[in-house]
Amino acid sequence: MHAHPSYFRVFLTFARNSLVRDMTFRGNFLIDTFSSMSWVFMNLGFYVLIFHYTPMIGAGSGWGKYQFFLFLATTLLVNSLVQMFFMINVDEFSELIRTGSLDFALLKPIDTQFVISLQRIQWSSLGNFALGLTLIGYSLFQVGALPGPTQVVLYPLYVACGVAILYSLMIGLAATSVWLVRNQSLFDFWFYITNFSRYPMEIYRGTFGTPLRWFFSFIIPVLVVVNVPARLLARPLYPESAADWGLPVFTLFATLASLLVSRWVFNRALLSYRSASS
Amino acid sequence: MHALAATWWTVLRISLEERLVYRGDFALSTLMRFLPIVTQIFLWAAVFSATTKTEIAGYRYEEFVAYYLLTMITRAFSSMPGLASGIARDIRDGTVKKYLIQPIDMLGFLLAYRIAHKLVYYVVALGPFALVFFLCRGFFDGWPAPHMMAAYVASLVMAFLLGFFLEATIGMIGFWFLEVSSLLFVYMLFNFFFSGHMFPIDMLPGIWGELVRMLPLQYLAYFPSAVFLGKVTGVELARGLLVQLGWVVFFIVTSRLAFHFGVRRYSGYGG
C-alpha cells in the first residue's frame, strides 16, 4: 500500500482506457482522425494560395513559403498535443461543475487537477501530430537545412512549453466557470485568443500592432507558444541581438508563471465550488 | 389565411422573447467574433508588404480588409447554426412527429423561428457591427451606387434563404441516415473554404476557381460582399443574382421533396 498514488501509472491507465474506448468505436475514430486532418489540408491550401501571390509573409521577416510551413507545422504539433491530452477533459470540467459531478473527482485520493486534466486521451489527434512531423520533414528538406544538436534538444522543449502555456490558459478559463456557471463564450474567448498565436509575431506592428504584440507576448503569453519553437527551426538562433536570446529565456519563465497562476486559479475555484443537486 | 398569419406571428413572438433572454452574453460574443478579423488585417498587411504588387487577384489591401468585414455581414444572414443538426436530431429522437400530428408545417415553423432569431440578432448585433465598421471606415471607398445597393440587399436576402433551405435539406438527409454529424462536418469544411469566408474566391487559380464558381456555396459569403465592393457589375451581376435565385428555388423544392419522401420512411422512435 503506497501512501501516494503513482501518477505515472494512473496516467498509463487513463491512456489505455481511452484507447480501448476509441477502438470500440473504430469507425468513429477513423472519421475523427480524417476529418481533423482534412481541416489541416484545407488550411495548408489557403497558405499555398497566399504564397502563390507573395514570396514572404512580412517584408524581410524571413517567413518564406517553407519557413512558414515550419511555423504551421509547429502550430499543428502544439495544437494536436493540447487536443490529445487536455481539450476534451477541460471542456468536460465546466460541465462537471455545472452538474455537480465534480464531487466524484474531489473524493479520489489523487490530485484533483491531475484527474480533471488527463482523464481522457484523444488518440485521434495523433493523426494531426504525424501530419505535423511530416510537414516539418518536408519543409526542412525544401529549405535545405538540417537541424543542429541545439535545435534537436531545444525544439521539443519549447513545443512542450507552448503546450503548457495553452493548457494553463484553458484550465484557468474553465475554472472560472465555478463563479460564472455558464461559460460558453469563455471557451470562444479561448479560441479567439489563441487565434493570435497562429501567426508570426512580426506581422503585429504599427500603431496598434506593437502594443498588441507586447500584450500577447508578456501579459497573456500566447505569441511565444508557436513563435519561439518555430523560429528555432526556421531561423536558427543566431544571437543577432539581445531580443533573439531574450524571448526563449522569457518563454521558460512565462511557462512556469502560467502553470503557477493557473494552479492558483484552479485551487481558488475548488474552494468556491459548492456541489450542485444532491 | 388569417390563421396562418396568426400562427406565424405567434412563433415569431415566442422566438423573439426566447432570444432576448441572454442579450448581454450575446452582444459580447458578437463583438468577439470580430477578433479573427484583427489577425486577418495584420496578415494581409504583411502579405502586401513583401510584394511589389498593389493588387492581389484584383483586390487592394484595403479591399481585402473591407471584404472580410463584409463577409461578416453576409454570414450574419446566411449562417444557420444548429439548423441541420437540429432537424437530424429531431428525426432521430422522434420529436419530428409533433409536426406530423399538429397542423403546422415543419419548414414553415423553422423558417419563422429562424427569421425571429435573425431579427433579434440584427437588433443586438447592430451596436457591435456599427462600432467595428465605424472604426474601419478607412478601408472602404464609400457607399455603392443606389442600384448596386439594391442588388446587394437582394443578394443578402437570398443568401439567408439559400442558407436556410440548403441546411434544411442537409438536415433531412437524417431521414435516410440517422447520424449526419460527419456529413455536416464535411459541409462546414467546404463552406468555410469555398464560400469565400476564408478568402475571396477570385484568388483561386484556373480550374479550381471555375469549379468553386459552379457551387452554390459562393452565394453564402463571397457574392454579396463582391457586389458591395463593385467587383461584380452589369450583365455579370444580373446573371449572378439570377443564378442565386435559381439555387434558392432549387433548394426550396429539394427540401420539400426530401421532407415529403422522408416522412414516408420515418418510423417515429422515442416517446
Each residue's pLDDT tens digit, B161-216: 999 999 999 999 988 887 788 788 889 999 988 999 999 999 998 898 999 999 99
Contacts of A34 in chain B (CB under 8 A): none
Of B16, B179, B164, give the one whose Cα is nearest residue B93. Answer: B179
What ranges in chain B are assigned the alpha helix state H?
A: 2-19, 23-32, 35-49, 61-78, 83-93, 97-101, 106-135, 146-172, 181-194, 206-214, 222-228, 234-265
Would you give per-residue pLDDT tens digits along chain A (278 residues)?
556 778 999 999 999 999 998 888 888 888 888 888 998 999 999 999 999 998 888 887 788 899 999 999 999 999 999 999 998 898 888 788 878 888 888 888 889 899 999 999 999 999 999 999 999 999 999 988 788 888 889 999 999 999 999 999 999 888 887 777 655 666 677 788 888 899 998 899 888 889 999 999 999 999 999 999 998 888 754 545 556 678 889 999 999 999 999 999 999 988 888 776 54
Q: Note whether residue A278 is domain-resident.
A: no
Q: How far is A201 from chain B (nearest CA, A)?
A: 10
Buried b (16+ CB within 10 A) or exposed e, B106-140: bbebbbbbbbbbbebeeebbeebbeebbeebeebb
User: Which of B39, B63, B217 is most worth mutating to test chain A (most A CB atoms within 10 A of its CB)?
Assistant: B39
Question: How many domains is chain A partitioned into structurally?
Answer: 1
Query: Cell 462600432, residue?
Result: B131
Which grid coordinates are listed for B127? 451596436
CA B87, B91, B94, B97 torsion-angle sign: positive
Report the chain A residue with the minimal C-alpha distance to residue B209: A49
What ranges in chain A are assigned the alpha helix state H?
A: 7-24, 26-53, 65-82, 88-99, 102-107, 112-118, 126-143, 149-175, 177-180, 184-195, 206-214, 223-234, 242-272
What ranges in B173-233 are assigned the alpha helix state H?
A: 181-194, 206-214, 222-228
- B180 HSE (CA, 13 A, CB side): 26
Q: Note whether residue A2 is domain-resident.
A: no
| 3-class DSSP state of A56 | strand
Query: Cell 497562476, residue?
Result: A261
Displacement of CA A80 from its chain's centroid (Å) = 7
Range of the domain at A205: 7-272
Of A198, A165, A155, give the one whose Cα is nearest residue A63. Answer: A198
Q: What are phi and psi of B33, to 5 degrees?
A: -65, -15
A216: burial class by Cβ within 10 Å (0-12, 13-18, 19+)?
Answer: buried
This model of the complex carries an ipTM of 0.86
Contacts of A46 in chain B (CB under 8 A): 193, 198-199
Q: Note whether residue A103 is domain-resident.
A: yes
Task: Give me the residues of A, 197-256, that contact B with CB < 8 A.
Answer: 198-200, 202-206, 209, 212
- State which amino acid sits at residue A14: F
Displacement of CA A221 from its chain's centroid (Å) = 12
